Every structure is written in C-alpha cells, then in structure tokens.
C-alpha cells in the first residue's frame, strides 16, 4: 500500500506491506521494518530495529495522534486533491474541521477562546483520559468558530470539542 501523509507537518510518502504482525516498506525511499508486539485498543507496543516503543494513539479531526512517551506525532493521510494543492502551493481549504473526543475523559484546560485565530498544531484543549493528560492540537490554521467544552466537564467518546474554519 502506498500513501501520501503529512507527518509532523511535513508531507511524506509511505509504502507498507504487512506480513502478519510485521510490516516492511519505506518512508521517503528509506527502508523501514516494524513489528507490532502488543495491541490493546489505543495502546501499541512496536519494535523498530532493536528499539521498542510504547505508543498511545487516538484519531480525531481527520488525523492520527501518537504519544511516544516524549514528543507527540500527528499523522494525516492526504487525499489526492490535498496532495495536488500542496504541490502547487495553494492555500489550505477553508472548510470547517470539527474535532471530537477520541475517548471518554475530563476537560482539564481550555487554552483558547471562541473567535481566536490559531495555527496548525497549536494546543487548544487538554483532556485527561486513562490517567494521562493529552493536549488536543488544532488540525489547521484558522479561527475557532465553536468551542463546546469547559474545564472540569466530563466528555464521552465522539463529543464535539471545537471547530476550526
């Protein structure tokens, strides 16, 4: 399978082939091999070379977010029209993006206000789930047009957190 993806804000080409729990392929032409050792819901243990990574992941706003125990990585799978626009240097689509909770939890902090201009990747809301605090980033540069949560609020999986346009 060949994919175009935006990983940490950079457009990349990813090719993967699976053989059971093992994956091989390339990232921007560089060889890569990985093995999924354990998978429980949104938790993974993955071996890449001689290193083992424990990864917490969630999907929201059209992107996959991965916490590797240090820096958080965001991966967006690009649609063909998005790739073409990126290559031409065209501005990002003005469409509204709704960001929903990946799992039930509690809102710890809201870092923005309704109507505020934000940049892609900027942390907007902090959610406590599974005894971990996760900062939810903006999926795009734009304006907060809906802010549906307040600190202390309990949320269910799929609850609308905010919308950006």
Rg (CA), the chain: 17
130 vs 120 pLDDT, higher one: 120
- Please give the mean pLDDT across all residues of the chain: 82
pLDDT class of 90 with cuts at 50, 70, 90: very low
Q: Tell me if 150 sits within 8 A of 107, measured CB to CB.
A: yes
**What pLDDT, in 10s, does the model give residues 101-117?**
878 889 999 999 999 99
Q: What are the CA-CA distances from residue 76 to residues 7, 64, 91, 109 (Å)?
A: 7, 6, 17, 25
Q: Which domains does the chain have, with CATH numbers?
A: 2-77 (3.30.700.30), 94-164 (2.40.50.100)
Q: What predicted TM-score, i.e. pTM, was given to this entire model?
A: 0.47
Distances (CA, A) of 124 to 36, 47, 53: 31, 32, 26
How sure is the predictor about 94, in pLDDT bands with cuts at 50, 70 and 90? low
Residue 11, SS3 per DSSP? strand
Answer with the residue of higher pLDDT: 89 or 130. 130
56 or 78, greater pLDDT? 56
How confident is the model at residue 84, as a pLDDT? Answer: 45
Band (56; pLDDT cuts 50, 70, 90)? confident
* Over residues 38-56, mean pLDDT: 85
Both tokens of 147, joined, read 């802010």
């Amino acid at each position: 399978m060949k994919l175009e993806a935006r990983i940490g804000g950079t457009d990349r080409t990813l090719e993967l082939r699976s053989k059971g729990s093992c994956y091989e392929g390339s990232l921007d032409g560089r060889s890569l091999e990985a093995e999924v050792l354990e998978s429980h819901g949104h938790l993974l243990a993955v071996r890449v070379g001689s290193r083992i990574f424990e990864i917490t992941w969630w999907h929201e706003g059209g992107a996959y977010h991965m916490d590797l125990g240090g820096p958080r990585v965001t991966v967006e799978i690009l649609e063909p029209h998005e790739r073409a626009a990126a290559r031409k240097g065209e501005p990002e689509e003005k469409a509204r993006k709704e960001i929903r909770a990946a799992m039930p939890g509690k809102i710890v902090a809201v870092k923005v206000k309704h109507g505020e201009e934000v940049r892609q990747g900027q942390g907007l809301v902090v959610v406590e789930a599974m005894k971990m605090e996760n900062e939810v980033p903006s999926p795009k540069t734009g304006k907060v047009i809906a802010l549906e949560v307040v600190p202390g609020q309990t949320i269910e999986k799929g609850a609308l957190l905010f919308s950006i346009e």
